Amino acid sequence: MDNSTLPGPAPALVPYWLSATTGGAGVDTPEPGDKGALPSQRQANVLLVEDNHINQVVALEFLSLMGVQARLAKNGLEALAACADAPPDLVLMDIQMPGMDGLECARRLRAQQREGTLPPFPILALTAHALDADVAASLEAGMDEHLTKPLDFVALRTRLQRWLKLPEPS
């Protein structure tokens, strides 16, 4: 499956999280009227939820090269805790993980967002499963997109640019 053919948000629709990025763990999002850094001057914060060490290394390096600040959770339970501690601007979620899989984690994150305990942010499935049924399961669980592994730098950057303001490549 070619990642570039999956649907994305309409270009005219700009989610609020494009301009509401955080500066990283431990840094609060400015409140209205805060004289802190402009949102466009802060790095996007992405939570990578991945249990495979090789995939972690590759994805974290890609995100670093894109100028994105990334945090790692190794399963769904760690992802829930990380989002509660410091909500990310975007989650890249593996599907098959021990403990709690990515589909269940996405369902729980979306439930918390509906309850108002978490702000909205996009969740992108990141998996080797590329069948139409796999894509449908990801979307049904509340994910915004379905990316396939192995990771491709250009495809990942293109997808992230749909949801986040990334720095221009140098």
pLDDT > 90 fraction of the chain, expressed in percent and rounded = 69
Confidence at 131, pLDDT banded by 50, 70, 90: confident
One-letter identity of residue 101: D
**Whether the Cβ atoms of residue 97 and residue 76 lie closer than 8 Å to each other:** yes
Dihedral angle over CA of 60, 42, 75, 102, nearest 10? -100
Q: Cα dihedral sign for 139, 115, 14, 20?
A: negative
Q: Which domains does the chain have, with CATH numbers?
A: 43-162 (3.40.50.2300)
Q: Give the pTM.
A: 0.76
Convert the pLDDT of each residue in 24-42 to its tens digit: 333 333 333 333 333 456 7
- If 0-12 CB within 10 Å is exposed, 13-18 middle and 19+ buried, where does residue 1 land? middle
The DSSP 8-state label assigned to residue 19 in this structure reads T
d(CA 113, CA 145): 17
**Whether the Cβ atoms of residue 145 and residue 122 lie closer than 8 Å to each other:** yes
